[in-house]
């Protein structure tokens, strides 16, 4: 065996050992309950946790453990990152994959936290002329990460779980949507989920929301969902978790698609 072959073999063995250790570490994190301190934060700040079916609560806690281990939080504009911030955001994001063992936010490495709404550059094209202006935002999701959040909105969205607005779930719905390589309202579906039915149901519901928005009609969904299909998916995700019965009543076919996608039925939770 040549020296080059030996080096390649040793490198392969090292990579294999690293991946094995990584899988074992993740398995331990997923199987472990939250620490008493972090569990107290979860119960206090994320009341939706206690509505989650009991058989899924250990899974959510394990996902929060993994999230805290693998995702780094950075504070902006003087924000000091605390366990309150980390657990509150990790828990809300984890609801989206709590019953989807084959899903994770694989490209997400960092989350940046602002104290309140922050300014972001918005590029517009009109008559072939590019222009930029500042726009106030409470959250952003970038392709392959990071996620940027306003802490005041993230905290309120968690503690007020019935208003249909949750910026963390909104931005992490974008993270799931991006896993197909395009942010277009068509996330990666499981093998038993009909892509053609998803597309038809979502397009019909999206067009109805656009019509409601144009006429100012009352609807369970925020008009921001009429911006484009990607924002529609993010908005209906917020409503699915926070106002599930109202969404089911208004858009039963859409609700059924979300039940199959998330493998959850929040309208049945106590």
Helix, coil or strand: residue 148: strand
Q: Judge whether residue 124 has pLDDT over 90.
A: no
Q: Which residues pair with 119 in a beta bridge?
A: 136
Q: What is the pLDDT of residue 148?
A: 97
Residue 3 is assigned to a structural domain of this protein: no
Helix, coil or strand: residue 123: strand
How many domains is the chain partitioned into structurally? Answer: 2
Distances (CA, A) of 101 to 49, 94, 104, 119, 195: 18, 11, 8, 36, 20
Distances (CA, A) of 110 to 57, 71, 106, 145, 249: 25, 5, 11, 7, 37
Q: What is the pLDDT of residue 132?
A: 59
Q: What is the pLDDT of residue 145?
A: 82
Cβ–Cβ under 8 Å, residues 109 and 72: yes
What whole-number percentage of the chain has pLDDT above 90? Answer: 80
Q: Judge whether residue 89 has pLDDT over 70.
A: yes
Weakest mean pLDDT among 3-7, 9-13, 47-51: 9-13
In a 10 Å sphere around its CB, with 0-12 CB exposed, 13-18 middle and 19+ buried, how is residue 106 labelled? exposed
Using CA atoms, how far apart are residues 28 and 186, in angstroms rounded to an integer? Answer: 32
Q: What is the pLDDT of residue 135?
A: 80
- Containing structural domain, residue 251: 184-270
Mean pLDDT calculated for residue range 28-39: 95
For position 218, which CATH number holds?
3.40.390.10
Phi, psi (degrees; rounded to nearest 5) at 248:
-60, -40
Residue 49 is assigned to a structural domain of this protein: yes
Sheet of strand 139-141: strand arrangement: 72-75, 110-114, 147-150, 139-141
Question: Is the Cα dihedral 158, 172, 141, 174 positive or negative?
Answer: negative
Look at residues 161, 176, 192 and tell me which one is the last residue of a structural domain: 161
Residue 135 is assigned to a structural domain of this protein: yes
Q: What is the pLDDT of residue 128?
A: 47
Are residues 189 and 135 both part of a single domain?
no
Are residues 21 and 110 both part of a single domain?
yes
Residue 27 is assigned to a structural domain of this protein: yes
Using CA atoms, how far apart are residues 9 and 141, in angstroms rounded to an integer? Answer: 39
What is the tens place of the pLDDT at every residue in 39-87? 999 999 999 999 999 999 999 999 999 999 999 999 999 999 999 999 9
In whole angstroms, what separates CA 77 from the centre of its chain?
A: 24
Residue 130's pLDDT band, with cuts at 50, 70 and 90, is very low
Instruction: Show the tokens assigned to 2.
Output: 């040549």
C-alpha angle 262/232/84, rounded to 5°? 60
For the chain, the average pLDDT equals: 91
Residue 175 is assigned to a structural domain of this protein: no
Q: What is the pLDDT of residue 121?
A: 66
Q: Which residues pair with 74 in a beta bridge?
A: 112
Are residues 127 and 22 both part of a single domain?
yes
Residue 6 is assigned to a structural domain of this protein: no
Cβ–Cβ under 8 Å, residues 266 and 240: yes
Q: Are strands 139-141 and 129-137 parallel, antiparallel or unpaired?
A: unpaired
Residue 15's pLDDT band, with cuts at 50, 70 and 90, is low
Are residues 128 and 54 both part of a single domain?
yes
Are residues 219 and 99 both part of a single domain?
no
Are residues 147 and 45 both part of a single domain?
yes
CA atoms within 13 A on the CB side of 11: 6
Cβ–Cβ under 8 Å, residues 74 and 111: yes
pTM given for the model: 0.89
What is the tens place of the pLDDT at every residue in 142-187? 988 899 999 999 999 999 989 999 999 999 999 999 999 999 999 9
For position 35, which CATH number holds?
1.10.472.150
Residue 152 is assigned to a structural domain of this protein: yes
Q: Judge whether residue 102 has pLDDT over 90.
A: no
152 Cβ neighbours under 8 A, 6+ residues apart = 115, 116
Using CA atoms, how far apart are residues 261 and 96, in angstroms rounded to an integer? Answer: 10
Are residues 157 and 225 both part of a single domain?
no
Q: Which residues pair with 111 in a beta bridge?
A: 73, 147
Residue 3's pLDDT band, with cuts at 50, 70 and 90, is confident
Are residues 208 and 120 both part of a single domain?
no
């Amino acid at each position: 065996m040549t020296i080059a072959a030996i080096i390649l073999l040793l490198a392969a063995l090292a990579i294999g050992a690293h991946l094995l250790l990584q899988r074992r570490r993740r398995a331990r994190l997923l199987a472990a309950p939250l620490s008493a301190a972090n569990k107290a934060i979860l119960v206090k700040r994320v009341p939706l946790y206690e509505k989650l079916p009991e058989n899924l609560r250990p899974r959510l806690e394990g996902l929060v453990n993994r999230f805290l281990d693998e995702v780094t939080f950075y504070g902006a504009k003087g924000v000091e990152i605390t366990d309150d911030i980390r657990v509150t955001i990790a828990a809300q994001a984890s609801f989206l994959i709590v019953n989807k063992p084959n899903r994770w936010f694989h490209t997400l490495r960092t989350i940046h936290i602002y104290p309140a709404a922050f300014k972001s550059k918005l590029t517009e094209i009109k008559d072939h002329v590019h222009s930029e202006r500042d726009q106030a935002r409470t959250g952003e999701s970038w392709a392959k990460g990071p996620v940027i959040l306003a802490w005041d909105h993230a905290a309120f969205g968690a503690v007020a779980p019935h208003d249909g607005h949750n910026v963390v779930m909104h931005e992490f719905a974008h993270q799931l949507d991006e896993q197909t390589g395009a942010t277009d309202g068509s996330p990666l579906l499981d093998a038993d989920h009909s892509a053609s039915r998803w597309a038809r149901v979502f397009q019909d519901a999206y067009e109805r929301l656009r019509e409601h928005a144009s006429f100012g009609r009352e609807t369970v969904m925020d008009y921001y969902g009429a911006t484009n299909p990607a924002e529609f998916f993010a908005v209906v995700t917020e409503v699915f978790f926070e106002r599930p019965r109202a969404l089911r009543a208004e858009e039963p076919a859409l609700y059924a698609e979300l039940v199959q996608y998330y493998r959850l039925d929040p309208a049945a939770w106590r």
